Structure 1
Amino acid sequence: MEYLNDMALFVEVVKVRSFRRAAEALNMPNSTLSRRISGLEKAIGLRLLQRTTRKIELTEAGQLYYERCKRIVDEARLAHEQLGEMLARPSGLLRASLPVDFANVYLAPLIAEFAQLYPGISFDFDLTPRQVDLVSEPVDVVIRMGEPANSNLIARKLASIQRFLYASPHYLQTSGEPQSPSDLSGHECLRLRGPDSDRWTLSGGGETQQVDVGGRFQLNSVGMLRRLASLGLGITLLPEGIAAQDVADGKLRRILVQWQASPVSVYALTETRLLPAKTQRFIEFVRDRLQA
């Protein structure tokens, strides 16, 4: 039926909040797209979009209609792909946003293995810590460390990564080595920006301690924390895999070895539960390998 196609056009317009950009993505004239949406509104008997010269906004009816239409369009797309899987393995372009340091250390070897398993899939990776808009940006999946902030997204837990305390031999020689978690309050601590950046929770020997920490450096890059620590600027918390090379090279040393920080969770974030095969296989593969 014609209105089912118009529903799919309406979903694309809402996603990018622009007739022009939607028309370019759909490879159809802007005038045709606008006429089809106007016809859809007339058929329904309600205005779905408020149009201005600069942007479009959903009406109350439009918001309700979009939520219903999107599910229907996603289901239809998934049905076509699942039937196609009976004849071919997953293929297409997989677009993912990955945290830089975690991707370099943990994901790179997994991606190499995944690429060999699925030669029909090509990859477009954006290595960035920024918040990605899965609705308006062309990204299939976002992988992030830490608890998800956006409750509107579908979060799938991939792994929990243990973190330990590290400092350079130079820092320990000049500032002394802490003998207990409480000693950290008197040290320069390099902190990852977040809700617990000024209070570290450490566990060891069957007990848990919370320690107030401070210092001159707070940032959002695990790799930069590792680098600053190796240069003797303070004590930091790092996943073992991130610190491993500097430990082997003698640039970092693990301290308070009987203690470890609360683990950081790794999540795959998607806009919907209805995923194409390429995305679903990638998430499952990374989860299984990390948990193993």
Structure 2
Amino acid sequence: MTPAFPKTDLAHLFALPDAYAALAFLAVLRFVTFDDLARVGLDQGEIASLADEDLVFSLKLQRRLTDEGHVDVLALKRAGAQMLASVLGVDAASIPYSTRSTCKRSAMFLDHGLALSRFALYLASALWRGREERSGQRPPLKLLSFETDAERLADSVHVLSKPNGLVRQPLVADALAVVESSRGPEGLLIEIDRGTESPSYLGRKYAGYHEWWQKGGPKRRFDVSTLRLLTVAPNKKRTRVLRETCREVTGGRAGGLFWFSSEDDIVAEGALSSVWSNVRSEHLSLWP
């Protein structure tokens, strides 16, 4: 039986030749910018050749009205999926790909998807390339899986809310990364914020995750004993707003559960740098 494409094994895709790695990242993440693939070390010429060979769609997108220019967005074509299946020796039907019609999404939808794919690439790249750089006294970090399927991430919890009493709070993160650290498998639930939701809406979600965490949600739902919720906001100002919102709705409790950073800082410094904060402290790294 032909094996299926490993959709959640994001880190090991960096071991592929650059052109095939780019195709594989597009299969996993759907929409990725040319620049982000290049920033994580893939050869620009190899990436450009994919469009020339008609293996990917290439789209121009103005992510926000205030942006001066456009970004080049890539999406996997069926031909690219078939080539990738042949190279990897996997079932072609197991590789997701885009069509011309599925590429016609709103700028808001694409902007959110690109923010998620950017963080996924930066985190996976940092863990993959840094696996041999940590000192002998610090165990290497390993990305075990990266899940974006909403059905696999969804859960809910009942929260006591005034004046409505007990209300059901849906909980669906954008992704779940499971990382092997010195503490064993650790879950990182990822919330990508683009400033389109009100802080009060996200506050209810934070309150829900706090209650869910207290009731053993991480172990029950994802079989991990250690879990953090990472919020990646577009800029420092928005990060401060969401951090303060979280502090207010949780009373500053569970400081180690909620972590915040901005996309700007992650791009400039790296996902594993001291660009994170929780409700108690700033300038933290995810792992010491």
TM-score, normalised by the number of residues in structure 1: 0.27
Larger radius of gyration: 1
Q: Which has the higher contact order (CA 8 A, sep 6+)?
A: 1
TM-score, normalised by the number of residues in structure 2: 0.27
